[in-house]
Amino acid sequence: MQNQLLEKKHNKIGTILQLSKYGSVELSYRNKESEETILNPIETSFYNINEVQTNINIDSNALVYSDNCYALYNLIKNNIKVDLIYIDPPYCTGEKFISRNLEQAYNDDLSLEEYIDFMRKRLILLKEVLSDNGSIYVHIGHQMVAYIKILMDEIFGISNFRNIITRKKCSSKNYTKNQYANLNDFVLFYTKTKNYIWNKPGVMPDEEWILKEYPKVDNNGRYKLVPIHAPGIRNGETGKKWRNMLPPPGKHWQYTPEKLEEMDKKGEIHWSRNGNPRRKVYFDNNKLLGITDYWDNYRDAYHQSIKITGYPTEKNLDMLKMIITASSNPGDTILDAFCGSGTTLQAADELDRNWIGIDQSPIALKTCLKRLNYGLCAMGDYVKPTKKFPKSGKCKHKYNIYIEKSKYISYKEIISSIESN
Ligand X SMILES: C[S@@+](CC[C@H](N)C(=O)[O-])C[C@H]1O[C@@H](n2cnc3c(N)ncnc32)[C@H](O)[C@@H]1O
Residues that bind ligand X (CB under 6 A): 67-68, 88-90, 106, 311, 313-315, 338, 340-341, 343, 358-361, 364
Which amino acid is it at 122?
A: R
Residues 6+ apart with CB under 8 A from 277: 228, 243, 260, 264, 269, 270, 271
For 152: left if phi > 0, alpha if psi spans -120 to 50, otherwise beta; the answer is alpha
- Phi and psi torsions of 216, nearest 5°: -105, 155
CA nearest neighbour of 63 among 336, 375, 325: 336
Which amino acid is it at 313?
A: T
Q: Cα separations (Å) of 196 from 83, 132, 160?
A: 9, 7, 10
C-beta separation of 290 from 205 below 8 A: no
CA nearest neighbour of 125 among 60, 46, 36, 57: 36
For residue 68, give the DSSP letter. H
By Cβ distance, which residue is nearest to ligand X?
340
- Pairwise CA distance, residues 307 & 294, whole Å: 24
